[in-house]
Structure 1
């Protein structure tokens, strides 16, 4: 985190540094701080889809479910082949009780990237938040 802070001292408009610092904060479980960094990264670089995606996932972790789902839907609308957000949207919609829309997004997500069937990959490689992984697990186990 100190390295990203140094980069941001030199260039306070470096979206990648905010995004990477958000990843580091998320890795430490500091989700509120991660939300702020992801939002700043996305605001500085509006087409930085993964900054906005990580923002949505961090929002979900902090209990801001409605805003997380709204952000996910906007990303899927703008980038229909964005498997990560289709899978995340699937999980969030399933937990909210919207099974039909969840399943529709799931078929699109899996058609684009089958790794989202693997919870270990989602948790440890893609590094979704614990709440998002739990939501996907509920979908995959039909709970």
Structure 2
């Protein structure tokens, strides 16, 4: 599996070499680097994607995940909110925002975000788990 990950990374790097302005390639590479635990490199690639195209919600989501993992919750929240602003029909940023808000003890806001995520994507299992966890802590 590690070999396939390395191969995928080299393919994204080749895409960037061929077209350095391809924002989606930076998002993909950022995700793969985060899978390898290379958070700083991953963050830099998400930031480059945003620099190239500030309207890509998935870049803000990916960056939010990494910031959240680093404990930078306020920054993560800002990135999830930006993703929602760009694409209010995506369930993932609502779910991720719910998780961060519940970590901060903002239960009502967390519940509302998990419920919105479920409404947008009834098959997003993580949103049900997050909502269940928050409700059980009340």
Report TM bin, short chain.
0.7 to 0.9
Describe the superposition over 1:2-30 as per-residue Cα deviations: whole angstroms up to 9, x where unpaired.
Answer: 22222222221111111111111011121
Extract unaligned runs of 5+ from structure 1: 123-135
1:59-74 counterparts in 2 under 5 A? 59-74=67-82
> 2:132 matched to which residue of 1?
140
C-alpha RMSD over aligned residues: 2.0
Given the two structures, how large is their TM-score scaled by the length of structure 1? 0.78
Contact 1:95 1:138 in 2 (8 A): no
- Which structure 2 residues correspond to residues 70-89 of structure 1 after superposition, within 5 A? 70-89=78-97
1:113 to 106, 116, 121: 121
The separation in 2 between residues aligned to 1:138 and 1:111, in whole angstroms, is: 14
Contact 2:95–2:114 (Cα < 8 Å) also in 1: yes
Aligned pairs for 1:32-51 within 5 A? 32-51=40-59
Distance in 2, Cα, partners of 1:18 & 1:40: 7
Larger radius of gyration: 2
Partners of 1:52 and 1:71 lie apart in 2 by 5
How far the C-alpha of 1:74 sits from its partner, in A, is: 2.4
1:26 aligns with 34
CA contact (8 A) 1:18 1:41 kept: yes
Runs of 4+ in 1 over 4 A off after TM superposition: 136-139
Q: Which residue of 2 aligns with 1:127?
A: none
Note the C-alpha offset of 1:46. 1.5
CA contact (8 A) 1:95 1:139 kept: no
Q: Aligned with 1:114: secondary structure?
A: coil
Partner of 1:52: 60
- TM-score normalised by structure 2 residue count: 0.80
